[in-house]
Amino acid sequence: MSHEKDDSPYLVFGDFALFFLQQLEVKGISIQNDWFQPSFQIIDELLTSADPELVNLIQVGVLEVLAGHPGALTFVKKNLSARAQKQFEEWAKISDQI
């Protein structure tokens, strides 16, 4: 997952999404891991940010990486706030995920 010295936020969040998928494959879909809740909080906050660049970062860096894994997207959506779920739905329509 390393991109050597490139620490672009999109690559960092993309690596997080890949880590997330790996954990789901290895451990199954569970909210019991200590890092899940803080991760969802960050996803939630970025997805509902007033800053369109932050919204784009989470959409491109995480959601688009997870797009090939509908179970992962469903799991993420279920653990977001109502406001973030609405933003998620808007992203899903635009990116043909629903």
Residue ranges per structural domain of the chain: 9-94
Query: What residues have CB less than 8 Å from 37, skipping those under 6 apart?
Result: 31
Take residue 76 and report the two structure tokens written for it: 């993420």
pTM: 0.81
Query: Mapping DSSP to helix (H, G, I), strand (E, B) and coil, where does residue 73 land?
Result: helix
| pLDDT 10s digits, 30-64 | 656 677 788 889 999 999 999 999 999 999 999 99
Distances (CA, A) of 66 to 5, 77, 82: 24, 11, 20
The pLDDT tens digits for 58-90 are 999 999 999 888 888 888 898 899 999 999 999
Which is nearest to 53 in space by CA: 10, 94, 89, 82? 10
Cα distance between residue 95 and residue 91, in whole Å:
6
